[in-house]
A and B are shown apart, each in its own frame.
Chain A
Amino acid sequence: MSKRILLCDDEAHILRAAEFKFKRAGYEVCCAADGQEGWELILRQRPDIVVTDCQMPRMNGLQLAQRIKNDPATAGLPVIMLSAKGFELSMTEIREKFGIRALLAKPFSPRELLQRVEATLAGEAQPVASYV
């Protein structure tokens, strides 16, 4: 059975590129334009993994990750975050407080993102501190 992935980004082109890559890799893909929509899709579609942008309207990536972590129904759902900005938080905080498994800096490589997603799903520990 193919894995289901939720992609969350307010930039339609980014969403489309990632969707294309994952579909070709055999994933079942659902897309959301912001954190709120993403949360609703998580509850409805029950994805196996979430890839989200950080800066989004309504609910940003960190808020979404925290909600996933704090809700017993979704806790444990792996989250990978894309961001064009550095964080004021430490990597430990990002991992422990928000339960984020990996961070990828924008501009990102769809190939690398796919590798990260596959590794995360395979249960491998991810190098969180992959960028500033």
Chain B
Amino acid sequence: MAFLAVACTTLGVAWVVEPFFAPTTWPARLGLVLGGTALLLGTIRLGLSQSTKAGASAQRYIDRLCELDSLGLQDDNSLDIVPVRKEDVQWRELAHKIRRRLAEFAAQADEVEMARAGVEVRIRRISAERDQLSEIVAGLSDPVLAIDPFGEIVLANPSAERLLDIRTTAESHPIFDQLQQCEELVNLLAETRRRKAPIQKSSELNLADSDGNERWYRVTCRTLTNPQESGGANDRNAAHGAVAVLSDISGTRAIQKRNAEFVSAVSHEMKTPLSSIRAYVELLVDGEADDEATRGEFLGVINDQTDRLQRLIDNLLSLARIEAGVVAVNKVPQSLNERLAETVRVLEPTAEQKDIRLTTDFSQLYLGVLADRDLLLQGAINLVSNALKYTHRGGSVTVRSKLNDQEVIFEVQDSGVGLSPEDCQRVFEKFYRVSKDRDMAQGTGLGLPLVKHIVEDVHGGRIEVDSELGRGSTFRVILPGLAQLSA
């Protein structure tokens, strides 16, 4: 603009002054025009050179800015190696402004980068946690399954897949309602999902496992609410997802059933002597017994039945205590023959009373066993006294011991009433009593179960019975010998 102004001025002046100087000649006019042009060109040249210098200065600052790394941005003097001249000041200030903006951008970029790294770490951690959780759920022996609000099974651990015969993958989610074999489970989960407020429900139901065995499961269902979806008024009516955890309680159920049966059997066994006691007491109270002999008879029955009740309770308690491990078991190496001899000494008077020949046939060897002295003695006494009970007068009972291939054996053989093959199977059951022999002796039906427990559970041996009806029975106890134990 400046150059144009100078040029116009020159030409204008030339044109105005022309009539006064009267350079009417064309050469003069031409000279004047040429002079003006030369003046104009000079001015333009000067302007261009100024502009080139400013451009070069700007270029230096731009180059310098480009060389700056993010660290250099922090250094205020980093631009000052370019010599500061008056005409450079504007570029220098511009460069400083740009440098400050760049420094701000760089700081923001650093922050963003740090945030990104933080997010990445969290993602990795969450992903690892999720993998670990999946592994834990997969490893659970209890079946676990989760369904989403659309009723698709989104998670089922291997136990659940086996139980319900389903397969879940990332791509395919079986529809829960279509599970045929477990209507009750479907209903329970459907009910859990329909609730407006999250709930937890549990129920016991039976399901057939993959082998077709009926098993009892305790199912706990919980509504799954997705926090991102909840909150809207409409969502309150929508179905939720749900998670179900099934625990196999077949074992507990079986124990409960066994306990109920046991309690029922115990109460029956207790009611029998109690019935007699009550009946005879009432007869006495009502004055039904006129003579001393009848009163004596009734009191005798009451006395016997009270003893029977007491024995039953004692046996029950010792069985319960031994089974529960309350009785301290103190196993020490000892001679089996010594315990058997002790047993025979205890029971000899009973045998004599019943006129039964009680003989022994002990091995000449030392039969060492690792056993609890009292329990072993109690087991042997139970077996021998049983033999005496179920052998008629004039019969015989033999207690025998022998060594058989490192196993120590003792047998109690009698010439008694014997057992049928069915009775042989059942004789170790609690409260089982051979019905035809009930009148022969009083029993609680707990003696042999106790022996079996002492032999098998406490001493790691086994017990067998050979018997023939009318010919007698042989109860055989096989215990690991000391040599076998140390081997």
Give complex CA distance A4, B268 in Å. Answer: 29
Query: With A10-B435, A55-B268, A84-B268 given, is the CB distance from A108 to B283 under 8 Å?
Result: no
Q: Chain A contacts of B275 at CB under 8 A?
A: 11, 14, 84, 106-108
| CB proximity to A under 8 Å, residues B207-225 | none
Residues of chain B within 8 A (CB-CB) of A14 are 275-276, 279
Give A55 to B432 CA distance when docked, in angstroms. 13
User: Contacts A10-B438, A57-B435, A110-B279 given: A84-B272 contact, CB under 8 Å?
Assistant: yes
Instruction: Check if B264 sits within 8 Å of A107, measured CB to CB.
Output: no
Q: Let me know if A107 and B279 touch, CB within 8 A.
A: yes
- A84-B268, A85-B264, A108-B275 in contact; A12/B283 too (CB < 8 A)? no
Residue A44 interfacial (CB < 8 Å)? no
A17 touches B279 (CB 8 A): yes
| Chain B interface residue count, Cβ-Cβ cutoff 8 angstroms | 23
- Taking CB atoms, residues of chain B closer than 8 Å to A107 are 271, 274-275, 277-279
Contact of A17 among B271, B274, B276, B438 (CB under 8 A): B276
Inside 8 A of B291's CB, which chain A residues have their CB? none
A17-B283 contact given A84-B268, A84-B271, A106-B275, CB 8 Å threshold = yes
Contact (Cβ within 8 A) B282 A24: no
Which residue of B is nearest A11, CB measured? B272
Q: In chain A between 7 and 65, which residues have their CB closer than 8 angstroms to a CB of chain B?
A: 10-14, 16-18, 20-21, 24, 55, 57-58
Restricting to A74-132, which residues have a CB under 8 Å from any CB of B? 84-86, 106-111
Task: Decide if B138 is an interface residue (CB 8 Å cutoff).
Answer: no
Query: Are B268 and A111 within 8 A (Cβ)?
Result: no
Q: Which A residues touch B276, using CB under 8 A?
A: 11, 13-14, 17
Q: CA of A18 to CA of B301 in the docked complex: distance in angstroms?
A: 14
Q: A10-B435, A13-B301 are in contact. Are A108 and B288 (CB under 8 A)?
A: no
Nearest to A105 among chain B residues (CB) is B271
Given A12-B439, A107-B278, A108-B278, the answer on whether A20 and B272 have CB atoms closer than 8 Å is: no
Within 8 A of A (CB), among B54-97: none
| Residue B280 at the chain A interface, CB threshold 8 Å | yes
Taking CB atoms, residues of chain B closer than 8 Å to A21 are 283, 288
The answer on a CB contact under 8 Å between B268 and A109 is no
Beyond contacts A14-B279, A109-B282: 17 other A-B pairs, Cβ-Cβ < 8 A, are A10-B438, A12-B439, A13-B280, A13-B301, A17-B276, A17-B283, A18-B279, A20-B283, A20-B288, A57-B435, A58-B435, A84-B272, A106-B271, A108-B275, A109-B279, A110-B282, A111-B286
User: A residues bordering B, Cβ < 8 Å?
Assistant: 10-14, 16-18, 20-21, 24, 55, 57-58, 84-86, 106-111
Top 6 A-B pairs, shortest CB-CB distance: A57-B435, A17-B279, A84-B271, A107-B278, A107-B275, A13-B276
